[in-house]
Chain A
Amino acid sequence: MNPVNYLYLASLLFAIGATGVLIRRNAIVVFMCIELMLNACNLALVAFSRMHGNLDGQIIAFFTMVVAAAEVVVGLAIIVSLFRSRHSASVDDASLMKL
C-alpha cells in the first residue's frame, strides 16, 4: 500500500469537515466539524512522522490535541452562554452586530 493513501484519507476528512462548517447552522455541529478537521490534520502528521522516521510529527499532533482540548472548553462555554442569552444554538441568530 502506498503511504500517500493516509494523506488522501486525511485530506478527504479535512474537506468533509470544512464542508460541514460551511453547511451546518447548529453551532455545536459546526464545532464538531472543526474537531474533525483537527483530527484529519493529526492523521496526516502521524503519517508524516512514519514517513520521515522521526517522532517530531507525533509531538506536533500531541500539541494539536492539547490545543484542541483547550479550544473545546472555551468554545462550548461560548455556545452555552450564547444559548442562555438567545435561547438558540443557531449561528444565524447571533446577528446583533449586523447592520
Chain B
Amino acid sequence: MSALASTAVTDLAAYTTSTGEAVQFWVLGTVAVIGALCTILMKKAVHSALCLAGTMIILAVFYLANGAYFLGIVQVVVYTGAIMMLFLFVVMLVGVTAADSLKETIKGQRWLAALCGLGFAVLLTAGIGNAAITEFNGLGAANAGGNVEGLAALIFTKYVFAFEITGALLITAAVGAMVLTHRERTERALNQREMAERRVREGKHLPPLPAPGVYARHNAVDIAGLLPDGTPSELTVMQTLRQRGQIRDVSGEALSDLAALEQRSAERLGRDREQEASK
C-alpha cells in the first residue's frame, strides 16, 4: 500500500489529480480552445496554421500530464515539427496572398454550419455528462517499467499485425504522393534556336524585351520602364511579377513631375513671349 502511495506521489499520471494539474488544465485548455477557434476564424491560411501549431503543442503538454510521455514527444516532433511545417510549405507553394473568398455559394450555409457545429458540441457534451467517472485508474502500474518499454511491448506483441499494416500504408502514401505530384513532360522543351525562329515567324517582337526602369530614374525589377510619353510599359517587367500583380507603379509620380516641368517651362515661355510682346 505504501509502495502504491509512493508511486502515486512520484508518478505524474497518478489516479488522483493535483491542484497544479487542474490549474494547468484550465489555463492551457482555454488557450487551446482559443487557438482552435482562431484556426477556423483567421482569414489567411498562414495564421490558421500557426494557431493550429500552438494548439497542438498544448495538446502535447496534456499528453505528458496524462502519462503518455512517448506520445507527447511524438506530438511535438511529428505533428508540430513535420506535419505543420508541411502545411506551411504547401501554403507558401499555393500562395500566401490567396485569402479565403467570403462569398457564400449556398445562401445561409455559414450560419447553418455554425449551428450544426454548436448542436454537435452540445450533443457530445451531454453524452459525456452522463458518464459517471470521478477518478482515474492511473498509469502507475502500466508505466512501471517505463512508458516507451510498455508501448513497445504492446506494439510488438498484441498489435504487431496493425503495426505491419501501418508500414504498408506509409509506403503506399509515399508512392501515392509521388504519383500525384509528378508531372510528365508530354512534349520536348524548345531550345533557344527554335524559340528564336518562332519569334521571327510570329513577327511580333523581334528584339529582346526592354529592361525594367531604364527609361525612368529607377532600375528595380518590379518597376515598369516608362515610355517617352510617361506611360509605363508592361513589357519591361518579367512575366512572373506581372502575373502576381507585383508591379510597383511610379508613373503617376513621373507624370506629375513631367506636368510640373511643362507648366514651369510654359510659364517661362509665356513670360518670354510677354516680354517679347512688350518690347
Contact = CB atoms under 8 A, between A and B. Distances in A.
A9 B49 CA distance: 20
B139 A23 contact: no
Interface string B187-203: 00000000000000000
A74 B116 CA distance: 28
B13 interface: yes
A33 B169 contact: no
Given A1-B21, A11-B124, A89 B169 contact: no
Contacts of A15: 117-118, 120-121, 124
Given A1-B25, A50-B136, A53-B138, A23 B114 contact: yes
Interface of A: 1-9, 11-20, 22-26, 28-29, 31-33, 35-36, 39, 42-43, 46-47, 49-56, 58-59, 61-63, 65-74, 76-81, 83-84, 88-90, 92
3 tightest A-B contacts by CB? A19-B117, A53-B137, A20-B40
Contacts of A69: 78, 82-83, 170, 173
B90 A76 contact: yes
A2 B152 CA distance: 30
Interface residues of B, number: 87
Given A49-B68, A74-B180, A29 B83 contact: no
B83 A25 contact: no
13 contacts: A3-B136, A11-B128, A12-B33, A16-B36, A28-B87, A29-B45, A55-B143, A59-B155, A63-B166, A70-B169, A73-B173, A74-B176, A88-B98
Contact of B70 (A19, A33, A58): A58
Nearest to A11: B124
A65 B79 contact: yes
